[in-house]
Amino acid sequence: MTKIISFISRKGGTGKTTSAIHLATMLQSLGHSLVMLETDNNYTLNTLRKMEMYKTGAKENAVFNIIASADENVIEDIDKLKKEGFDFILVDSAGKTTDEHIKKLSIASDLVIVPTSLTPNDLLVTYQTIEDIKPAKEHNSTLKLLVLPNRVHTATKIDTVKEALSELDAIILD
C-alpha cells in the first residue's frame, strides 16, 4: 500500500524541499519505488533536479520522478499516483499553502513532516502550521505528525531544541 509523506510549513525556506530530497534519496537507495509531487509554483525541486542532471549528466528520471502539481490538484494527483503502485509518494508543499489546503493534504497523508529552525519567526510559523494540521486528525486518526528541527547549530543541545518545541502536539525528531 502506498504511503503518503508530506512536507508542510506555512513558510518558505524551512527546509521542506531539501528534507524531501534527502528522504527520497534514502528511500530510493533502500529499493523503494517513489514519486515526488511539488506544489510550489517556483518549482525549486525541479530546478534543483535539472541543475544536478546538468552537473552529473544523469538521465531525466534516473532516480525518481518529480511531478509538478498545485494545491488545488494535489489530492487528485495523489489518488492517480496511488493507482500506479508506488511504495511512497512524497509531497513537497509550497510555503504559501492555505489552511484549507494544509488540512486536505494532511487528511490524505500518512505522515506530515514540518521542518523548522529555532528562529522566533520559524517557531511561530511552526506552531501555526501544527494548529492548521490538527483538524485533519479528526478525519485521519492514523495521521502521524513529526517536527524536524533543521539548521540547528552543532553546539546546540538537543534539550534546548526539545524545550523550544515542547508545546507542540507532535513528535519532535532528534
57 in the Ramachandran plot: left (φ > 0), alpha (ψ -120 to 50) or beta?
left
Instruction: Report whether pLDDT(60) > 90.
Output: no
**Strands 144-149 and 34-38, how do they pair?**
unpaired
Give the 3-state secondary structure of residue 49. helix
SS3 100: helix
Q: What is the CATH number of domain 3-172?
A: 3.40.50.300
Please count the residues of the chain: 174
For residue 107, the one-letter residue type is I
pTM of the model: 0.81
pLDDT surpassing 60 at residue 155: no
Per-residue pLDDT tens digits for 66-91: 888 888 899 999 999 999 999 999 99
State phi, psi for 148 to the nearest 5 degrees: -110, 100
Is residue 48 predicted with pLDDT exceeding 80? no
- Determine the average pLDDT of the residues in 57-63: 59
